[in-house]
Amino acid sequence: MTDALHATPLADQAEYAQAVRLAVDAAAAYYGAGASALDDDSYDRLVRGIEAYEAAHPDDVLPGSPTGKVAGGAVVGDVPHTVPMLSLDNVFSPEELAGWAAGLERRLGRPVAVWSVEPKLDGLAVSARYRGGRLVQLVTRGDGTAGEDVTHAIGTVAGLPARLAEPVTVEIRGEVLMTGEQFEAACAKRTAHDGTTFANPRSAAAGTLRAKDRPYTCEMTFFSYGALPLPPQDDSDLAGRLRESPHSQIMAMVAGWGVRTTEATPVAGVAVDSIEQVQVRVEQVAAARAELPFGIDGIVIKADLAADQQEAGLSSRAPRWAIAYKLPAVEKITKLVGVEWNVGRTGIIAPRAVLEPVQLDGSVVTYATLHNPADITRRGLMLGDSVTVYKAGDVIPRVQAPVTHLRTGQEQPIEFPQECPRCGSDIDSSQERWRCVRGRACHAVASITYAVGRDQLDIEGLGQTRIVQLLSAGYVADFADLFTLTREQLLALDRMGEVSTDNLLAAIERAKGKPLNKVFCALGVRGTGRSMSRRIARHFATMDAIRAAGVEDVQAVEGIGPEKAAVMVAELADIAPLIDKLAAAGVNMTEPGATPPTAAGTAGAAGADGGDGAAGGEAETVPAAEPPLSGMAVVVTGSMSGPLAALSRNEMNELIERAGGKASSSVSARTSLLVAGEKAGSKKAKAESLGVRIATPEEFAAMLGEYI
């Protein structure tokens, strides 16, 4: 099934012949050492372009064309398969899916009663043969007719037990892949061994599965997608059940034997009774994709019943009763053409990759995160490298690794800065994240702009232009100096009249009374944002308690580990003069409703007791009963309505934490409640797939009652 929007256009016979050679070479590299010059999406588009050209020019088809062949015809194995291991045809939209389903039902002459919907795992297809419950052989898919014996990999693949829970003779089919954690471990081992790294989890798994003589071992993971009889037991009772049972029941059988399936994941296979429900599940799996610990590149839809499968039959390369709904690529290969060194508001010097523009998951990517100099060194990146770029959390593009086998010898080392690229001062390179020795003073405009933002001190009238004026005039060096500005100083600035001056002074005065969590957030301590600042403020209650805390004390705050705690304690010591200036200017240093842990233990830290209000304010009364969201992880999505209509997302998060809950930005199995307003989108779909409780804004407001 070819879609012009998802195919590489080929203008003539010469382009077609070149495309055939490129596709065959790429398939041979991928199915050989797992080191293709093309990413999956580029390869798929190329093959679809070849298919389209051949459909229009049937007399020009080359005998070496990859179309109609499993694995592109690139792999010849020496172990025959008991039943061919075929590929899948693809669709790319709800309309194409509906069209394919209608075609299948026309072929059957009846509606498909039950559909199976599973994730399409981004790995290497493998057949695992068990005799009497013991794993005796592993075979790759190869060309679909025969594959390569990789039995030597037994013992390195999690989810594929050496013995089944029952002494059955059976062939289990599935995908071998690397999870994110396994991939990082594999890259570390390879870097330690020869200084190179793997390009991506898929190629790492493909190469590792075949490797026989490496001095190090890398773990992989297996997920089953099917089972069939294994001769000579193909006339047994089990064989009969495997031939006649619905696919969903077979997968339950496989899981019962102790083989890993997707059953325990957020994208577990399900059986539904209409193509409309199939589409709903497709959207749910797609929404969960970003947070999965393993890669998927689509969703597989099958006729669940054995009778439907048998009657629909097979083509030369794919079953007619199954299809792959392909998702947009979140990983591509492009060129690293440069590295920019930027300085953040706290003085952190961050490298950014400049890339040849590449289409990735619906957007053109030109820049990507590079983390820090140590990470560049670990990954062995060089200017001019072909690099794998992916979307982290489907949002932030990141460079994953160089594709070392594509190097030409023209690549150049990346030069690290010898001085701060912003101000020319020395660099503190004692930690992995380099920093200008001037810290916040290096980029005071960014530091002050952040501090006065709406979610921190919320000082209206202080835009970046005005802050530059104040810095240039020498009136401020940091945001604490804002609280000692005089009317005369402001009136002396260009385009500052009496009304705007008085309004700005009033906004600065209001900012003095902000709760501790806002003041702490304005400090911009590394590793602490709005949510973490709220947790810290409600745990310690006062700035004095925060400053007196040691590393172990700070670790008592949820979400802070030893490394982050040490950084926070050290940074608070560094900015002690700034905090002293804020206190001397009369800025509030307490959190309403919270009590220091030394005085009232965890109850005070949770904000359940009453306490003093902000400086100059009245005491806040908090109900003595347990907060309504106590122990709950709550996610908010969509537009709020009713009593919550006027609240920003940050104000909603503050409300959640004031009511005893934990505000989160993403839905997972640990989410207790999703507050879904209008246009809730993918988060609502994911919550439904995970069985997470969902409430409207009005229902949520009723739950909170007097906390609003």
549: in domain: no
582: in domain: no
Q: How confident is the model at residue 77 (pLDDT cuts 50, 70, 90)?
A: low
Residues 207 and 138 in one domain: yes
Residues 215 and 200: their CA atoms lie apart, in Å, by 21
Report whether 73 contacts 64 (CB < 8 A).
Answer: yes
Residue 519 has pLDDT above 80, yes or no: yes
Structure confidence at residue 567 (pLDDT): 86
Residues 366 and 380 in one domain: yes
Q: What is the CATH number of the domain that holds 316?
A: 3.30.470.30
558: in domain: no
Question: What's the rounded mean pLDDT across residues 613-619?
Answer: 41
Residues 352 and 283 in one domain: no
Q: How confident is the model at residue 70 (pLDDT cuts 50, 70, 90)?
A: low
Task: Convert the pLDDT of each residue in 221-254 to its tens digit.
Answer: 999 999 999 887 666 789 999 999 999 999 999 9
Residues 178 and 235 in one domain: yes
Mean of the per-residue pLDDT values for the chain? 86
Task: Convert the pLDDT of each residue in 201-214 to its tens digit.
Answer: 888 898 899 888 88
Residue, of 583 and 621, whose pLDDT is higher: 583
Report whether 384 contacts 353 (CB < 8 A).
Answer: no
Question: What's the rounded mean pLDDT across residues 643-664?
Answer: 87
Residues 3 and 257: their CA atoms lie apart, in Å, by 41
Question: What's the rounded mean pLDDT across residues 459-469?
Answer: 92
Residues 410 and 448 in one domain: no
Structure confidence at residue 296 (pLDDT): 92
Last residue of a domain, one of 472, 488, 511: 511
3-state secondary structure of 516: helix
Cis bond leading into 293, ω under 30°? no
Task: Convert the pLDDT of each residue in 12-42 to its tens digit.
Answer: 888 888 888 787 777 766 655 555 656 667 7
Residue, of 289 and 118, whose pLDDT is higher: 118
Residue 382 has pLDDT above 60, yes or no: yes
Instruction: Tell me which residue range forms the domain holding 453.
Output: 439-511
Task: Convert the pLDDT of each residue in 396-442 to its tens digit.
Answer: 788 888 887 788 899 999 999 999 998 999 999 988 889 999 888 88
Structure confidence at residue 371 (pLDDT): 85
Burial of 465 (0-12, 13-18, 19+ CB in 10 A): exposed
Residues 348 and 421: their CA atoms lie apart, in Å, by 11
To the query of whether residue 120 is one of the catalytic residues in this protein, the response is yes
Closest CA to 644 of 695, 691, 605: 695
Question: What's the rounded mean pLDDT across residues 274-288?
Answer: 92
Residue, of 27 and 183, whose pLDDT is higher: 183
Residues 698 and 663: their CA atoms lie apart, in Å, by 18
Structure confidence at residue 661 (pLDDT): 87
Tokens of 21: 């050679």
Q: What is the CATH number of the domain that holds 361?
A: 2.40.50.140
User: Long-range contacts for 497-505 (Cβ within 8 Å, ≥24 apart)?
Assistant: 500/461, 503/460, 503/461, 504/459, 504/460, 504/461, 504/462
Last residue of a domain, one of 326, 354, 384: 326
544: in domain: no
Helices 444-451 and 516-523 sit at what angle, rounded to 10 degrees? 160
Please tell me the total count of domains within the chain.
5
Question: What's the rounded mean pLDDT across residues 291-313?
Answer: 94
Residues 276 and 98: their CA atoms lie apart, in Å, by 9
Residue 624 has pLDDT above 80, yes or no: no
Catalytic residue chosen out of the listed positions 120, 332, 581, 683: 120
Q: What is the CATH number of the domain that holds 648?
A: 3.40.50.10190
Task: Convert the pLDDT of each residue in 558-611 to its tens digit.
Answer: 888 888 899 899 889 989 999 999 999 999 999 987 887 754 444 333 333 333
Residues 323 and 1: their CA atoms lie apart, in Å, by 10
Residues 369 and 405 in one domain: yes
Residue labelled with tokens 């059986």: 271
Residues 417 and 459 in one domain: no
Last residue of a domain, one of 511, 535, 568: 511
